[in-house]
Amino acid sequence: MEKIGFVLGNKPANPLEFWIGIERGKLVQLDDIVKVETRLENRRIVCFYGIVTELYRYLEGSEFIFDSKDYVQGRLPAHLAYVAKVQVSRIEDEVYVPPFPGDPAFLVKGKELGKALYFDQMVEKIPAGLLKSGEPVFINYRFLNGKDGAHVSISGISGVASKTSYALFLLYSILQTAKEKVRALVFNVKGEDLFFIDKPNKIFKEREEEFRPLYEKLGLSAKPFEGVKFFAPPEKKGSLIPATEGRKEGVNVYLWTVREFAEEELLRFMFTEGDDGVSSIHYVIDKVTERLKELAELTREGQKDNPAWEGRLYNFDDYSDIGETLPPYEFESLEDLLRFLKRLVNNRRRCNSDKVFRKENEEFCNKTAEVYENWFGTVTVSIAYAFLRRFDQALQHISPMVVNPDALEGRDREEFKINWKETPLSIVGINRLPTIAQMFVVGSILKKIFKEKEKIGRQPVLYVVLDELNKYAPRGGWSPIKEILLDIAERGRSLGIILIGAQQTASEVEKRIVANASVKVAGRLDASEASAREYDYLPQVYKQRALLLKKGQAILHQPDIPVPLVLTFPFPAWATRAEEVFQEVADEDLEIFNNYSVD
């Protein structure tokens, strides 16, 4: 090891931090790892490992402003002091005493760096990036897969903090190195960048000699993601063509049938405005959801005698206007459901307000009241209308994804399902959907995953990557999606559901979700955001560093290491947008080119 200095005696030292003087000619940078050995009075040797968190140069004995100029010109005898503050990361053998002034300090590299940062105690470790010195950084996998902890929170300014890039790199690292069976599901929320991660990156290919060694240092192979399936919503109602621009090949459409919509209680995810969740309108949402589930169960039961009912949803309410088809009749779409509910509420209003009509149609009004209560409970007609207005508003965006089985054109229903258990990596596109539809898709998929995991248990471990977490689980208000995300944050680790959440501002995300993240990553932060309590895991000097981070840099905090680490991560070997896709020349094209001649 290279000796770089000694412990200072003119500054206080304690077991958790101390100062060292750096000898002339030695180069020490922020984030370098330092080792100090001290011999106690009983001759026992204690080793201190730490990270350089602050560096200062100054002239000892200088008092006046222009002394520095005189020193440079050789007219003032002075000593140039170069000192560093060291934050202790590990003490061997855990004797908590300060080092002695004058104890030599060494720069740590290679294998001993693993001891300084507890990498030697990690039974299974996941490559997380590189220190400034080029040494690899690891995360204890037990704090990623739920055995000792779970979940990752990534924060930073949009477009600068590389949140999505780091989430993908970490996911790539997990998929390559984890010894257990893992699966991943990523929501593509911006552009179509993630629809090309199975293709090689053109920029990486051009600078392969520069980038590939970084992957080799981390023990990773540099190649695109493998075993990827892509999913997108239909481009319009009644279509089975994916709503994508840059890529159509290999992209599957995801859909729900009307019966699945009812069985899986997905109506709740059409109402995502943040409020307390206990208002009258939420009572109506619950009532309608329960009634739809009842009808789905009745339809499934009736399917035994009517095989043609498979996958369909029938209404068994003994209620119809003159000239209407008598029940049971099929809800072929959400529009059918809306029309039925509107008619029911309108009839209920008329029966309540028109005494003459009620007297002339007493039996009809009594039946209307009975069916109305089945669907809406005891709320007034005005509350029912408020429900219908919000349902109608959301329906126009969500209806194309909820279809009748006939819309599948005879194709297998499984083609349109996101089967995360059989696919190493599933990319779910929601980028072209309006906000209400995005929230419906995220909530519906996560709810189903949670129920499936409750049945099958921890294996395989599923990693869910969700950007813009502050939109889906805001600190204030309530929504069914937020409820699901809270369940994942608090109970997901026992079920093997691990959330990798990214957000611009962790201070605006539900605090229980952020608090349950064992691994926290900060990219470039805004000054006001860095001062929030959610970043108290960063010492003040690291908060200042976070204001200056560049793309490809991040600050990593994990439970095993008491000091955050500033790291970089390699340039992606996979394409992150359509224009980055590397196009390989086919053999037949190359042969034509070689045989081509100009007369």
pLDDT at 48: 95
Q: Which of 115, 118, 113 is nearest to 132 (CA)?
A: 113
Residues contacting residue 18 through CB under 8 Å, at least 6 positions apart: 7, 8, 11, 36, 48, 50, 85, 86, 88, 98, 99
Query: Which CATH code for domain 2-116?
Result: 2.40.10.170
How many whole angstroms separate alpha carbon 270 and alpha carbon 334?
A: 12
The full set of domain ranges for the chain reads: 2-116, 136-162+183-199+224-235+417-570, 259-407
How many whole angstroms separate alpha carbon 502 and alpha carbon 479?
A: 19
How many CB atoms lie under 10 A from the CB of residue 323? 5
Residue 356 DSSP one-character state: H
**Digit-coded pLDDT (tens) for 62-96:** 777 777 777 676 767 777 889 999 999 999 888 89
**pLDDT lower than 50: segments of the chain:** 322, 586, 589-590, 592-593, 596-599
How many whole angstroms separate alpha carbon 226 and alpha carbon 188?
A: 17
Q: Is 411 exposed, middle or buried (0-12, 13-18, 19+ CB in 10 A)?
A: exposed
For residues 467 and 189, is the Cβ–Cβ distance under 8 A?
yes
Q: Which residue has the tokens 């995801």?
A: 254
pLDDT at 595: 53
Pinpoint the alpha helices (H) of 516-596: 527-530, 540-546, 587-595
**Digit-coded pLDDT (tens) for 474-526:** 988 778 888 999 999 999 999 999 999 999 999 999 999 999 999 999 999 99
Q: Which of 566, 562, 582 is nearest to 574 (CA)?
A: 582
**What tokens does 158 get?**
């949009």
**What tokens does 394 get?**
């959301």
CA dihedral for 568, 570, 576, 580, sign (positive or negative): positive
Q: Which of 467, 487, 430, 427 is nearest to 155 (CA)?
A: 467
Letter string b/e over residues 239-249, b meaning 16 or more CB atoms within 10 A of that residue's CB: ebebbbeebee
For residues 403 and 415, is the Cβ–Cβ distance under 8 A?
no
Q: Which residue has the tokens 């051009």?
A: 206
- Which is the CATH superfamily of the domain at 136-162+183-199+224-235+417-570? P-loop containing nucleotide triphosphate hydrolases (3.40.50.300)
pLDDT at 273: 65
